[in-house]
C-alpha cells in the first residue's frame, strides 16, 4: 500500500477539537506525520483560546448532533483568526442532507470518523494545497478492503522471498561445454569447476537483498497493523459515542414522559379533590335548606 505523499507546508498549524481523547490522539498523529503542527483541545472555549494565542491554517471540529442550527460553527467563524480559515466538521455518522447544510453554513469539508491516512492526505491537499474548487467530503475507510489489500501484499512479497530462497538452494546446471564433450564422445576433459568463492559472493548479495526485503515487509506490516488498530479504536469510540448519545436521548425522553405522567396524575388528583369538595358543600347547603336552617345566621 502506498503511503500518502501529501505534506502540509512549513509545519502548518492545525487545531483539532474533539471531546474524545483517543480521537484527538489518533488524528493528531496522522496530521503530525504529514508535517502539521497540531494543537488538540476538548471543547469550544479551549478552541477559542487557542485561536486567541495563534492563528491556524485549518480547524477540524467535532460536530455536536444536538447543534442543528450550526451555532458552534458560526461562533468559530466569527473569531478574527478563523474568519478565512477552512473549518472541517467531523462526526461519526452524517445524516442525509447534512453536507449541504454544513457547506451552506460555511464549513469547508465534512469528515466522517474514523478517517484513514489517505483521506487525511486528501483533506490537506484539497484545503491547503491550493487546488480546492469544491467542498471536500472525507468518507470513512473500508477496513475490510484495507485488510484484504494488506494480506495480498504480504502474500506477494512472501512468494517473491520464497522464490529467491529456492533459487539459492537449487543446484546449478552442468556446464554446457561438459555436456557437449560427452555427447560427441570426445576425449576433451570437462572444464574445471569454478572456485566456491565465485558462488559465495552472489549468494551473500542475494541473502542481503532478501534480508532487506524482509525488514521492509516487517515495517510495512507493523505500520499497517498500527493504522488498523487506530482505526478500530476510532470506530469503537464512534460507536460508543453514538450509544452514549442514544442513551442520553432515551433518558431525556423517559424523564419527559415521567414528568408528563406526574403532571397528569397531580391534575387528576386535584380535580377529584375539587369535585369531592364541591359535592360536600352542595350536600351541606341542601341539608340546611331542607331543615330551614340558615347557616349565615348561626352564632
Cα-flanking dihedrals φ and ψ of residue 38, to 5°? -100, 135
Please list the pLDDT of the chain residue by residue as tens digits (299 residues).
444 444 455 567 889 998 888 888 888 888 888 888 888 998 999 988 888 887 778 888 888 887 777 888 888 888 888 878 889 988 887 677 888 888 888 888 888 888 888 888 888 888 876 433 344 444 444 444 555 566 666 667 666 776 666 666 555 454 444 454 455 544 444 455 555 555 566 777 777 788 788 888 877 787 778 778 787 878 788 777 778 777 777 787 888 888 888 888 888 888 889 888 888 898 888 888 887 655 555 54
Please say which residue of 141, 176, 196 terminates a domain. Answer: 141
Q: Tell me the three cell numbers of residue 255.
A: 424523564
**17 and 137 fall within a common domain:** yes
Tally of structural domains, the chain: 2
User: Cα angle at 30 between 24 and 31, to 5 degrees?
Assistant: 85
Q: Do 7 and 35 touch, CB atoms closer than 8 A?
A: yes
Please say which residue of 141, 173, 208 terminates a domain. Answer: 141
Predicted pLDDT at 170: 56
Q: Which domain holds residue 262?
A: 249-287
Predicted pLDDT at 250: 78
Kindly state whether residue 205 falls inside one of the protein's structural domains: no
Please say which residue of 124, 141, 158 terminates a domain. Answer: 141
Kindly state whether residue 294 falls inside one of the protein's structural domains: no
Predicted pLDDT at 165: 66
CA distance 149 to 221: 11
Biggest CA–CA distance in the chain, Å, is 161
Radius of gyration of the chain measured on its C-alpha atoms: 38
CB-based contacts of 188, cutoff 8 Å, min separation 6: 181
CB-based contacts of 92, cutoff 8 Å, min separation 6: 112, 113, 238, 239, 241, 242
In sequence order, which ranges of 170-195 are alpha helices (DSSP H)?
176-183
Amino acid at each position: 500500500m502506498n503511503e500518502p505523499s501529501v505534506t502540509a507546508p512549513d509545519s502548518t498549524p492545525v487545531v483539532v477539537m474533539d471531546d474524545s481523547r483517543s480521537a484527538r490522539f489518533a488524528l493528531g498523529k496522522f496530521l503530525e506525520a504529514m508535517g502539521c503542527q497540531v494543537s488538540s483541545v476538548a471543547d469550544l472555549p479551549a478552541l477559542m483560546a487557542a485561536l486567541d494565542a495563534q492563528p491556524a491554517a485549518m480547524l477540524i471540529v467535532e460536530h455536536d448532533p444536538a447543534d442543528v442550527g450550526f451555532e458552534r460553527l458560526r461562533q468559530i467563524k466569527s473569531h478574527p483568526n478563523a474568519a478565512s480559515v477552512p473549518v472541517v466538521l467531523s462526526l461519526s455518522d452524517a445524516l442525509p442532507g447534512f453536507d449541504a447544510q454544513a457547506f451552506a453554513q460555511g464549513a469547508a469539508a465534512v469528515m466522517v470518523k474514523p478517517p484513514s491516512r489517505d483521506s487525511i492526505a486528501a483533506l490537506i491537499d484539497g484545503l491547503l494545497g491550493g487546488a480546492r474548487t469544491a467542498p471536500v467530503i472525507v468518507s470513512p475507510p473500508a477496513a475490510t478492503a484495507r485488510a484484504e489489500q494488506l494480506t495480498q501484499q504480504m502474500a506477494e512479497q512472501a512468494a517473491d522471498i520464497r522464490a529467491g530462497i529456492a533459487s539459492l538452494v537449487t543446484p546449478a546446471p552442468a556446464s554446457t561445454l561438459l555436456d557437449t564433450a560427452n555427447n560427441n564422445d570426445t576425449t576433451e576433459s570437462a572444464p574445471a569447476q569454478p572456485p566456491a568463492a565465485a558462488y559465495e559472493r552472489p549468494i551473500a548479495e542475494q541473502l542481503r537483498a532478501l534480508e532487506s526485503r524482509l525488514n521492509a515487509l516487517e515495517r510495512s506490516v507493523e505500520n499497517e497493523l498500527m493504522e488498523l488498530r487506530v482505526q478500530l479504536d476510532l470506530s469503537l469510540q464512534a460507536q460508543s459515542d453514538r450509544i452514549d448519545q442514544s442513551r442520553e436521548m432515551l433518558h431525556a425522553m423517559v424523564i419527559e414522559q415521567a414528568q408528563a405522567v406526574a403532571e397528569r396524575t397531580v391534575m387528576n388528583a386535584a380535580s377529584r379533590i375539587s369535585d369531592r369538595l364541591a359535592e360536600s358543600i352542595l350536600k351541606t347547603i341542601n341539608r340546611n335548606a331542607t331543615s330551614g336552617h340558615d347557616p349565615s345566621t348561626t352564632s
